[in-house]
Amino acid sequence: MEYGTVLMFLAIALLLGGTALGVNKLLMPYHPNSIKNATYECGNEPVGDAQIRYNVRFYIFALLYVVFAVEAAFLFPWAVVYREIEGLLPLGEVIVFIGVLVLALAYAWRKGALQWD
Amino acid sequence: MNGIDQDSLLLRMPGGQVLVSSLDRMINASRSNSLWTLTFGLACCAIEMMATGASTYDWARFGFEVPSASPRRADMMILAGTVVRKMVPIIRTLYEQMPEPKYVIAMGSCAISGGPYVYDSYTIVRGMEEIVPVDVYIPGCPPRPEALLHGLMTLQDRIKGQSVKKTGVDA
Amino acid sequence: MTGPEALDALRDRFPGLRAHPPDSAPGAVVEPDALRSHLLNLRDQLRFDFLVFVAGLDRPAQSQMELVYRLFSWETKISVALRVLLPRDAARVDTVCDIYRAAEWHERETAEMFGIEFAGHPDPRKLLLPDDIEGHPLRKDFTHPNMIRLPEVE
């Protein structure tokens, strides 16, 4: 593996990003004042709380998404080495792996976590 | 920050002035061709401003693609319409909340000088230059979209004359 | 309830009901103390569920201030205007905000423009005028130092 190339890539990426931000920092107009840093509310004085309450359904869907996205991420290396291993062992292992997660999906389905309303 | 000093090393070294002037041209071209407007439409001139943003006169082809309602990402403020005294602190606050570099266009007679309401009005502000510093005045009642586009192009010309070198006034 | 039924009921309730000019909404003068009970009756029994506006008129010649409450019924499509006459220098009437919520802003505007006091209004701030203005602009005798008079053409 050509790790020297990776290092060069990393160095150029940092250099480009750093140059853009650095030149910006040198040349940008910067005049902060208290009104400019104040919270925006269409020109009026801000009234009330700035915290918005989110629907809890977003959290539940995000949680389910994380679990299944990680599962998909683990399936990729398995798919790469599948050919090179003899026998039914890889198949059996992946069936167990996916089986556990199918159980989790079935539980979430039955409990109504996938219903939006 | 805030630009390059007049007596800095960059300007004194050979080729430094050329570098800075090329930088100027690049920055000014980028700024003038991408002016996002804080559309402050208060009255009838707002309708002409909307017409300028619509398809026939289309200011998006000049780069004013996003008429942003928020001052935080706006480059210029087009104040189109009559200014009453109740609106003054709001205009000032929103002008202050715009980040530099910022420009102001006074569109229409009411924003320039009070317009048809100069006489017999108890609550009008006779011209928005009492509230915010104005860069371009566009006369008319209301100005046609072509006049507004001419004013915007005038503003673009003004921006092209600016520089990253520090001068006595703010950039 | 239909239109003619509503008009008959109105004529029973307000004997002096008349439309002046003839193609406008019929109107009647009511006492300031009886205003709230009339509005409640009109809203509940006669289905006038929409307060269109609360407007003021300044009559300095009769030393009176007049308030007009225009009501509309979506069911019968009838409009009616209730008029209240108040003394000009002590114009004071009870608020109707709890009967019609639309009255909140209408009363705020009428109060700042005419100087009429609406007793019991939940939020008596100025609506359209700056907070430090002196005087009431829609009165007939209003002037303000900020007004530059249009010069007379010779």
Domain spans of chain A? Answer: 3-110
Beta pairing, strands B103-107 & B136-138: parallel
Distance from CA of C137 to the nearest CA of B (A): 8
Distance from CA of B85 to the nearest CA of C (A): 6
Convert the pLDDT of each residue in C26-62 to its tens digit.
899 999 999 999 999 999 988 899 999 999 999 999 9
Residues in chain A: 117
Range 36-65 of A in CB contact (< 8 A) with B: 36, 38, 40, 42-44
Q: What is the CATH number of the domain that holds B143?
A: 3.40.50.12280
Task: Return the pLDDT at B169.
Answer: 60
Q: What is the mean pLDDT of residues A58-77?
A: 92
Task: Return the pLDDT at B110.
Answer: 93
Touch test B–C: 3 Cβ pairs or more under 8 Å: yes
pLDDT score of B2 more than 80: no
Nearest chain C residue to B86 by CA: give it.
C130
CA distances from B154 to A8, A67, A79, B135, C56 (A): 46, 56, 62, 10, 48
Q: Which two tokens stand for residue B40?
A: 């402050």
Facing residues of C80 across strands? Answer: C71
For B140, what's the count of Cα atoms within 13 Å in the CB-facing half-sphere?
Answer: 20
Q: Tally the domains of chain B.
A: 1
Average per-residue pLDDT for chain B: 90
Pick the residue with more confidence: A88 or B7? A88
Distance from CA of C106 to the nearest CA of B (A): 18
B20 lies in some domain: no
Residues in chain B closer than 8 A to A29 (CB atoms): 2-3, 100-101, 170-171
Measured in whole angstroms, the distance separating CA B11 from the mean position of its chain's CA atoms is 30
DSSP states along B151-171: HHHHHHHHHHT--SB--SS--
Convert the pLDDT of each residue in A18-53 to its tens digit.
999 998 888 888 888 888 888 888 888 888 888 888
Q: What is the mean pLDDT of residues C130-152?
A: 87
Nearest chain B residue to C131 by CA: give it.
B86
B16 lies in some domain: no
This prediction's pTM: 0.79
Residue A15: band (very low, low, confident or very high) from pLDDT cuts 50, 70, 90: very high
Q: What share of chain C is helix, strand, coil (3-state, %, to 5)?
A: 25, 25, 50
Find the domain containing B123 and state its range.
Answer: 35-160
Pick the residue with more confidence: C6 or A9? A9
* Cis, bond preceding B145 (omega within 30 deg of 0): no
Q: What is the mean pLDDT of residues B73-92?
A: 93
Convert the pLDDT of each residue in C2-32 to its tens digit.
878 888 888 888 888 888 788 888 899 999 9
ipTM for the complex? 0.76
Residue B61: band (very low, low, confident or very high) from pLDDT cuts 50, 70, 90: very high
CATH 3.40.50.300 is the classification of domain A3-110: no
User: How far is residue C22's CA from residue C19's CA, in Å, rounded to a whole number?
Assistant: 5
Select from B36, B131, B38, B49 the least CA-distant residue to B91.
B131
Touch test A–C: 3 Cβ pairs or more under 8 Å: no
CA distances from C80 to A75, C10, C102 (A): 75, 9, 16
Residue B72: band (very low, low, confident or very high) from pLDDT cuts 50, 70, 90: very high
Convert the pLDDT of each residue in C60-88 to its tens digit.
999 999 999 999 999 888 899 999 999 98
Convert the pLDDT of each residue in B123-150 to its tens digit.
899 988 889 999 999 999 999 999 999 9
Task: Return the pLDDT at B171.
Answer: 44
Percent of all residues in chain B with a pLDDT value above 90, rounded to a whole number: 65
B7 lies in some domain: no
Q: Please judge whether C150 and B119 are an interchain contact, meaning their C-beta atoms are less than 8 angstroms apart.
A: yes
pLDDT score of A1 more than 80: no
Percent of all residues in chain A with a pLDDT value above 90, rounded to a whole number: 50
Domains in chain C: ranges and CATH: 3-95 (3.30.460.80)
**All chains having 3 or more CB pairs closer than 8 angstroms to chain B:** A, C
CB within 8 Å of C50: residues ≥ 6 apart:
C71, C72, C73, C74, C102
Nearest chain B residue to C148 by CA: give it.
B119
Residue B68: band (very low, low, confident or very high) from pLDDT cuts 50, 70, 90: confident
Task: Return the pLDDT at B141.
Answer: 92
Q: Please judge whether A31 and B2 are an interchain contact, meaning their C-beta atoms are less than 8 angstroms apart.
A: yes
Distance from CA of B133 to the nearest CA of A (A): 16
